[in-house]
């Protein structure tokens, strides 16, 4: 059993938990995910790792309520425990695999949308601890939906908060702030990492492609069981078919077919849709 040491509400329907899972904590790297199960009969839910403390043996996860199972997770309190906490799974972030000398010369921009701030945080923190301070944009619909601002502020080189409705920080979509940083501030980024809702990643990629900035995206949002078996996270990346949970979750954003991925994940939500997808495969 994997005990919850802390459970905290970050925003409406978004919760953070510190879970005692020493084996996962000792091996995990930024970009990876875990699969949790509440009890023997529970569904397997893939969740990205938001932080980890190897000495304390804890892993921090952030859950957004999107259905019955995720809602059950968010109702759990400190002192309760998960039946399973499997991981680390998926590939570590490409950035941390790079040669340190070339990484230190790079100007890096992270764009996080909504709950996407959770998988962005450990990457920014890792870079900061290795002497690389990245620029970070955290976007949310409204002021109340901005998460992890304090934590991110401590590890980001420059942090820009944006809200779609202008209730906090810069006003408008994250893409407006990308344009501001590049066109008005004259920043020349070597790479952009965008993680958030698929529609956000799509528009960030359209913009960075125009600007000539290589962009990595994380396809966490389309994962369902995280095992490589359900087929929900199948996606077209350039000429290849990939599975987000096995081959990713990170991919070259300029090669991902977002329209197809969004359509697929919509279809996957209904039984009829899943049957149709099976026929097509
Ligand atoms: Fe099911 Fe990847 S999430 S195959």
* pLDDT single digits (tens) 71-104: 889 999 999 999 999 999 989 998 888 888 889 9
Same domain, 28 and 85: yes
Q: At 201, which CATH number?
A: 3.40.50.80
Residue 275 pLDDT > 90: no
Same domain, 103 and 214: yes
Ligand 1 centroid from CA 241, angstroms: 13
- This model of the complex carries an ipTM of 0.98
Same domain, 208 and 107: yes
Radius of gyration for the alpha carbons in the chain, expressed in angstroms and rounded: 18
DSSP-derived secondary structure letter, 249: S
Ligand 1 centroid from CA 122, angstroms: 23
**Measuring from atom 4 of ligand 1, which residue has the nearest CA?**
228
pLDDT band at 187 (very low <50, low <70, confident <90, very high): very high
Same domain, 214 and 103: yes
Which among 221, 228, 277, 281 is the best mutation to test ligand 1's pocket, defined by most ligand atoms within 8 Å of the CB? Answer: 228
Residue 62 pLDDT > 90: yes
Q: Which domain holds residue 133?
A: 99-218
Q: Tell me how many domains the chain contains.
A: 3
Does residue 213 form part of some domain? yes
Ligand 1 site residues (CB inside 6 A) read 223-233, 243-245
pLDDT at 224: 81
pLDDT at 84: 94
Does residue 226 form part of some domain? yes
Q: pLDDT tens digits for 147-186?
A: 999 999 999 999 999 999 999 999 999 999 999 999 999 9
């Amino acid at each position: 059993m994997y005990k919850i040491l802390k459970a905290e509400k970050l925003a409406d329907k978004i919760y953070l938990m510190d879970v005692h899972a020493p084996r996962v904590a000792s091996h995990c790297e930024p970009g990876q995910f875990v699969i949790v199960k509440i009890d023997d009969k529970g569904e397997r839910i893939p969740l990205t790792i938001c932080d980890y403390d190897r000495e304390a043996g804890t892993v921090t996860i952030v859950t957004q309520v999107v259905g019955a199972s995720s809602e059950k997770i968010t109702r759990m309190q400190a002192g309760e425990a998960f039946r399973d906490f499997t991981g680390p799974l998926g590939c570590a972030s490409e950035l941390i695999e790079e040669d340190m000398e070339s990484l230190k010369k790079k100007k890096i921009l992270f764009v996080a949308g909504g709950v996407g701030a959770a998988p962005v945080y450990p990457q920014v923190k890792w870079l900061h601890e290795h002497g690389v301070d990245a620029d970070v944009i955290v976007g949310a619909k409204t002021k109340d939906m901005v998460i992890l601002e304090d934590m991110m502020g401590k590890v980001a080189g420059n942090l820009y908060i944006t809200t779609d409705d202008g209730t906090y920080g810069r006003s408008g979509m994250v893409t407006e702030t990308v344009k501001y940083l590049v066109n008005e501030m004259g920043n020349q980024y070597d790479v952009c990492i965008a993680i958030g809702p698929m529609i956000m990643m799509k528009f960030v990629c359209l913009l960075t492609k125009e600007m000539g900035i290589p962009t990595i995206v994380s396809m966490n949002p389309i994962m369902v069981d995280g095992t490589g078996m359900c087929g929900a996270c199948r996606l077209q990346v350039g000429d290849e078919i990939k599975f987000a949970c096995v081959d990713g979750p990170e991919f070259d954003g300029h090669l991902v077919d977002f329209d197809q991925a969004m359509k697929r994940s919509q279809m996957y939500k209904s039984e009829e849709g899943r049957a149709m997808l099976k026929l097509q495969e």
